[in-house]
Amino acid sequence: MGFEALAHGFTLVFEPYNIFLILCGVLIGVIVGALPGLSSPMAVALLLPFTVGLEPIPAISMLAALYCAGTFGGSITAILINAPGAPPAVATAFDGYPMAKNGEAGRALGMAAVSSVIGGVFSLLVFLVATPLLAKVALQFKPAEYFALAIFALSMLASISGKSSIRNLISGAIGVLIGTAGIHLTTGVERFTFGIPEISDGIHFVPVLIGLFAIGELLSQSQTLNVTLERISSVVIKLPSREDFNKVKWTILRSCGIGTFIGILPAEGSTVAAIIGYNEAKRFSKEPEKFGFGAIEGIAGPEAANNAAAGGAMVPTLALGIPGSGTTAIILAAFIMHGLRPGPHLLNETPQFVYAIFFAMLIANLMFFAIGLGGAKLFSRITLIPRTLLWPSVVVFSMVGAYSFSSSVFDVWVMLIAGIVGFVMNRHGFGPAPLVMGLILGKLVEESLSQSMILFDNNWLRFFESPIVVLFFVLTLLGLFWSTITRAMVKLVNRKRPDVPLERGD
């Protein structure tokens, strides 16, 4: 892929009609991402039939733009009303919503927009330069590697939210247990269905997510309806300062690398990237005690990571024909529908098409940056709406979102039950976020473990044949016991060091 192909791809995208379609994709993506229960895969799937009559490049550009903007859109409601519009935005709500409650909604939304764009552009540059090399790395991941990666992600739940690591791990374990409900893919055995047909396919995490966060917060807010909150509008709509960006610059850079790498791994995605990005932001922060109470790094970390994962997921999709996420699986179907087959042939024969997709996603990132940053002051005014008007609207949107996920009334009941559970968990110090993460990651853990044991003929010692698996297991142990190890090392050093008083002037 040379300069001529790059220039050709540029000219293919920069036509008024294509720019208009990309803008339409961005607007749809932001709206869909912001509505709880509606997701980018759903929007891309619904838009797919309307692109049949389009040329390949305009069609794929519009779908890719929707994908990029939808990932960012979920942060808007996550910050404003604690109702993540999409699973990747769950981690953003941990500190975004506390900032909104503190009257800093504009600052939080502005940081989310800037971090999202930096993460997206970073991953696109990596995608452009290193697609063949990074695709080879992704091919090294087999079921055993995915199992180790999922275990590593689960170990991070100990510090992801709440005050007690033990309670967080218990919540995550409950989430993994709930994720086992339904028919086991390997054996075909039904588990925890209780004769309810809807549970046969498993409990969907989107209704659980909406219930735990939105309805749970509604029940918590109902206890303080008589409390008058005074919020100064000039503070609410204030955007991030230069000091804020200096504080999070290394957090954003670190999350860009994490998100791009996670996105490249087939079948992973933005949610896992956001979890790890948030956890690493807290791990390297100078003020980790502020996380969960409105730390600006708690927004920059997951937002940069989940948007970087969106660009990274296009690497295996275009280079190998293997979708890097649920949305790119639908985009892959769009390629095939338009007579194109992503893979080495596409890279070698029509590199200008790859460059065209790169420029389309780059334009989309710049567009939703303008929408996100320019609209932050407008969006942030939502927090000034009286709660007696705001929260009934949240209930309506939550019910619509839960139902629209699979057009099932059962999902609405799941959402309501999850809301009550989330309220009770918050009152007793259990973080609801680890439960959702356990539910999302639990299926990956179970499926990859089952596949690995089949490949290894039930010999679990063969997990340690892979250096990648061993690396993730070591990182898991370090993540769980790092504080214990550091305390033991400090005690050991202090015990060996003699207490020699320093003289004045030393």
Specify the amino acid at residue 340.
L
Helices 90-101 and 432-455, axial angle in degrees (round to 10)? 170
Is pLDDT at 466 greater than 80 in this prediction? Answer: yes
pLDDT bin (cut points 50, 70, 90) of residue 232 is: very low
Cα gap 110→241, rounded to integer Å: 10
Give residue 343's pLDDT: 65
What are 166-212's pLDDT values in tens digits?
887 888 888 888 888 888 777 778 888 888 887 887 787 778 877 87
Is pLDDT at 109 greater than 80 in this prediction? Answer: yes
Cα gap 35→18, rounded to integer Å: 26
Helices 351-380 and 16-34, axial angle in degrees (round to 10)? 50
Per the CB < 8 A criterion, the answer to whether 338 and 277 are in contact is: no
Cα gap 223→207, rounded to integer Å: 23
b/e 338-372 (16+ beta carbons within 10 angstroms → b): eebebbeebbeebbbbbbbbbbbbbbbbebbbebb
Mean pLDDT score across all residues of the chain: 77
Per-residue pLDDT averaged across 133-162, rounded? 70
Q: Report helix, strand or coil for 313.
A: coil
Could you give the percent of the chain with pLDDT greater than 90?
Answer: 3
Give residue 61's pLDDT: 87
Is pLDDT at 336 greater than 70 in this prediction? Answer: yes
Q: Is the pTM of this model over 0.95?
A: no
Give residue 503's pLDDT: 46
Is pLDDT at 131 greater than 70 in this prediction? Answer: no
Of 292, 306, 268, 281, the C-alpha closest to 89 is 306
Cα gap 173→305, rounded to integer Å: 24
Per-residue pLDDT averaged across 109-129, rounded? 86
Per-residue pLDDT averaged across 402-431, rounded? 82
pLDDT bin (cut points 50, 70, 90) of residue 225 is: low
Per-residue pLDDT averaged across 373-400, rounded? 69
Is pLDDT at 154 greater than 80 in this prediction? Answer: no
